[in-house]
Amino acid sequence: MYLPVEIDSQTIAALLDTGSSINVMSQSFYDQLSVRVKTNIDTSAAVDIGLADSSKIPVLGTAYIKAKTPYGSCTLNVYVLHHTSHPLILGSNFMTNNSMVLDFGCLQVGFKKLKVRCRTSLTINPNSECLVWCKLPKGCTIGLQGVCSWSKKAMKAGLLVARSVSTVNPTRKIPIKLLNPGNSTITIPRYTVLADFEAMDSPYHVIVQNSDGLCNNVTTSNGHKDFEKPVYQFRDIFVTDENPLLGFTNVVEHRINLKSDAVSKHHKPYRLSPDKREVLRTQLTNLMNQGIIAPVDEKEDIPISSPIVLVLKRKSADS
């Protein structure tokens, strides 16, 4: 949940963190503030902050910041860190002192949807993609998190826009990934709306990847039913035991013509250990079930034969 806070004539979305008692500010945001709204960093309070997982975050020091909130003007005592997820994070002490009541029915502040425009004219070559830094309009709340998705003008121009999650920084610039799938060059005029920035609230669900690249918490509030229903509805586009030939076609046939003086080569198969033979048998069975390979009779004359080489995957240090 966010709270609009005005500091040095700019409004930012301060993150309300009920799991922390202190206020935290990033060093980059502190450096951007003028001296009339901040004090020097007191390095005597530069102690490490302990987290729930027993890890510690180094602190540069503490400072006092003049700010305006919906509850009136105040002076915030903040801990300045090298890097933070948001420019300003307000802890439970601030909420208690201001007798705040959190309404989790509305998790966003400021505008619900904003237009993302390109700053310069763009030329995108056929069958290519590019990353463009676009800008949000003035008045958007700094620190607000949202989802960037395609706009009508981008789709009308023939561009595909990658959906992404972004946080509004003080420069109001966010990256937009564009793809031109066509065979002609697309030119975009300056200040064209390429994407729509929609503030994140309760309908959105962020999936975080773990160290193995797998997604955690992939189910929604309704459990697996929300995921299973569309999968079953469009089951004809997935390769299953009932539909193993998906992706195969007999419209085009391919033939490899060898040179007239080509000499066929025959190599004996390599000897394999019992465990490797079992792996090979499983792989060959799967390929035959998919129709990729076909069995050959021992008496059949095979022009070329080559042995199979099994390569073990290198294990990581964690496994």
For the chain, percent of residues with pLDDT exceeding 70: 81
- Does the domain at residues 113-199 carry the CATH identifier 1.10.287.130? no
Q: CATH code for 2-97?
A: 2.40.70.10
Among 230, 8, 253, 12, which residue's Cα sits nearest to residue 109?
12
Of 97 and 207, more confident = 97
pLDDT category, 218, cuts 50, 70, 90? Answer: very low
Q: Tell me 33's DSSP state.
A: S
Question: Which residues does 156 contact at the CB level (< 8 Å), separation at least 6?
Answer: none
Q: CATH topology of 2-97 equal to that of 113-199?
A: no
- What is the signed CA dihedral for 175, 181, 184, 188, rounded to 10 degrees? -20
Among 110, 94, 87, 113, which residue's Cα sits nearest to residue 22?
94
Concatenated DSSP letters of 69-86: ETTEEEEEEEEEES--SS
Of 204 and 114, more confident = 114
Question: Which residues does 57 contact at the CB level (< 8 Å), separation at least 6?
Answer: 48, 49, 51, 81
Q: Give backbone dihedrals phi and psi of 273, rounded to 5 degrees, phi first.
A: -75, 160
End-to-end CA distance of the chain: 39
pLDDT digits (tens, 9 = 90+) for 135-144: 888 767 777 7
Any alpha helices (H) in the chain, and if so which ranges?
27-32, 92-97, 152-156, 225-233, 274-289
Average pLDDT over residues 166-178: 86
Question: Which residues does 105 contact at the CB level (< 8 Å), separation at least 6?
Answer: 202
Does residue 25 carry a pLDDT above 80?
Answer: yes
**From CA 172, how far away is CA 137, in angstroms rounded?**
8
Q: Tell me 163's DSSP state.
A: -
Does residue 72 carry a pLDDT above 60?
Answer: yes
Does residue 22 carry a pLDDT above 80?
Answer: yes
Name residue, tokens 């390569």: 311
Question: Which residues does 269 contact at the CB level (< 8 Å), separation at least 6?
Answer: 307, 308
Delimit the domains of the chain by residue range. 2-97, 113-199, 205-253+267-292
Question: Which residues does 221 contact at the CB level (< 8 Å), separation at least 6?
Answer: none
